[in-house]
């Protein structure tokens, strides 16, 4: 299978490219400097040139707070960009796997969100990602949308790197919110699932997040314990942080599909630490 990865320079994109190579797939890895997904003509040319069997779109505006101040720019990337790739895929007979997010939901549930649950984004970021889902699914029934939650990986800044850098800086106490609950998902695990969707030929909406859930506070405690670091994690609230964008209180994703769930978030954390404890921490 020949795969084109858009956003190949990002945290998730780099893991998708590595996973594709491990499977022996041909891979056209296009970073933002290689391809601006908001440029429809450039997208059509790049996809035609690569002639992929499948496209995995990891290109996204992920600055949640920034999207509140510039929703137009976020929309151009997350919605228009996704639509450009979806149409270009159809033109060459390829299918698109679009990466989406738990932010498309209201975040006020008490049970895991399923694929068929009503969407109700509360932020500009969530609205733009949902618009991207609609653009992709309206283009072809062969395209797939894969929602995930709380991503962390070895190739970019994320919550795990932030916590480890806190300890590296000598800080022995950190306040972390207790009122946000989700599924911390290792991009190394998600990358393999995205490629499975690319090869499966099944279209529609799918959820792919780590099994189990925890609060950010509990995740921080687990990070320090697994890394053997003595850092006290105290409690705080989302409101106390004063962020521009509202954070979902409940970001837990379940699935009603027949696809297997991803490994537990604790295994993702262990795999992350195994890859980064050699001193090459990003």
Phi, psi of 11, deg, nearest 5:
-60, -50
CB 136 within 8 A of CB 95: no
Residue 103 designated active-site:
no
CB 28 within 8 A of CB 50: yes
Distance between CA atoms of 51 and 48, rounded to whole angstroms?
5
Any residues with CB less than 8 A from the CB of 256 and at least 6 apart, and which?
114, 115, 116
Catalytic residue among 103, 113, 125, 272: 125
Whole-angstrom CA distances from 269 to 127, 169, 185, 187, 264 are: 29, 21, 8, 10, 9
Q: Which helix (H) or strand (E) holds 90?
A: helix 82-91
Which residues lie across from 232 on neighbouring strands?
Answer: 173
Phi, psi of 173, deg, nearest 5:
-150, 135
**Would you say the C-alpha torsion 244, 8, 280, 184 has a positive or negative sign?**
positive
Catalytic residue positions, numbered: 125
């Amino acid at each position: 299978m020949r795969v084109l990865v858009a956003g190949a320079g990002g945290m998730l994109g780099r893991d998708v490219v590595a996973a594709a190579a491990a499977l022996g797939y041909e891979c056209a890895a296009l970073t933002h400097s290689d391809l601006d997904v908001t440029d429809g003509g450039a997208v059509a040319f790049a996809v035609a040139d690569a002639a992929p069997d499948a496209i995995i779109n990891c290109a996204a505006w992920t600055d949640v707070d920034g999207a509140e101040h510039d929703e137009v720019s976020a929309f151009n990337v997350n919605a228009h960009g996704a639509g450009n790739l979806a149409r270009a895929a159809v033109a060459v007979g390829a299918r698109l796997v679009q990466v989406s997010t738990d932010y498309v939901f209201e975040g006020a549930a008490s049970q895991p969100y399923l694929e068929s649950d009503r969407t109700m984004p509360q932020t500009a970021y969530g609205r733009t990602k949902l618009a991207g889902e609609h653009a992709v699914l309206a283009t072809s029934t062969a395209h797939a949308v894969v929602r995930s939650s709380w991503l962390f990986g070895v190739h970019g800044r994320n919550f795990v790197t932030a916590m480890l850098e806190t300890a590296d800086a000598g800080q022995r106490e950190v306040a972390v919110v207790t009122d946000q609950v989700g599924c911390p998902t290792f991009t190394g695990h998600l990358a393999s699932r995205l490629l499975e969707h690319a090869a499966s030929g099944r279209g529609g909406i799918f959820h792919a997040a780590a099994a189990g859930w925890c609060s950010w506070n509990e995740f921080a405690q687990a990070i320090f314990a697994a890394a053997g670091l003595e850092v006290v994690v105290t409690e705080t609230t989302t409101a106390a942080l004063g962020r521009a964008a509202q954070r979902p209180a409940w970001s837990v994703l379940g699935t009603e599909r027949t696809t297997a769930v991803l490994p537990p978030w604790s295994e993702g954390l262990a795999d992350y630490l195994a890859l980064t404890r050699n001193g090459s921490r990003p």
